[in-house]
Amino acid sequence: EDQVTQSPEALRLQEGESSSLNCSYTVSGLRGLFWYRQDPGKGPEFLFTLYSAGEEKEKERLKATLTKKESFLHITAPKPEDSATYLCAVQEDNYGGSQGNLIFGKGTKLSVKP
């Protein structure tokens, strides 16, 4: 059973069409939830870390929120350059404090058409 599930698997938007990506998780205790962006042929690029339910973080057109069971990545008025795969990962509370043992979802592939 997957501990981190992302939906949808793929999302196609028109430029300016806002939407949200979902990340649901099932771990016994959450130490942190991470969002990354991955472009084709490249490594993941860090976006946000969220630690507790109710927390929100923003960066340009992106806003990440966290509840006790899921996280949303809201994209406001996206542009074609926002096209990428967005990865969600969690770190369980029984791990010793490092970002090492992250449990990743399979990602949402976002395409933004002009």
DSSP string for residues in 25-83: E--SSEEEEEEEEE-TTS--EEEEEE-STT-EEEETTEEEEE-SSEEEEEE-S--GGG-
Nearer to other proteins, 65 or 108 (CB): 108
Binding site for other proteins (CB under 8 A): 4, 31-32, 36, 41-46, 49, 51, 87, 89, 91, 96-107
- Nearest approach, Cβ of residue 42 and other proteins (Å): 6
In whole angstroms, the minimum distance from the beta carbon of 12 to other proteins comes to 19
| Cα distance between residue 7 and residue 110, in whole Å | 11
- CB nearer other proteins, residue 23 or residue 75: 23
Q: Shortest distance, CB of residue 67 to other proteins, whole angstroms?
A: 19
| Residue among 75, 74, 107 nearest 7 (CA) | 107
**Closer residue to other proteins in complex, CB, 24/76:** 24
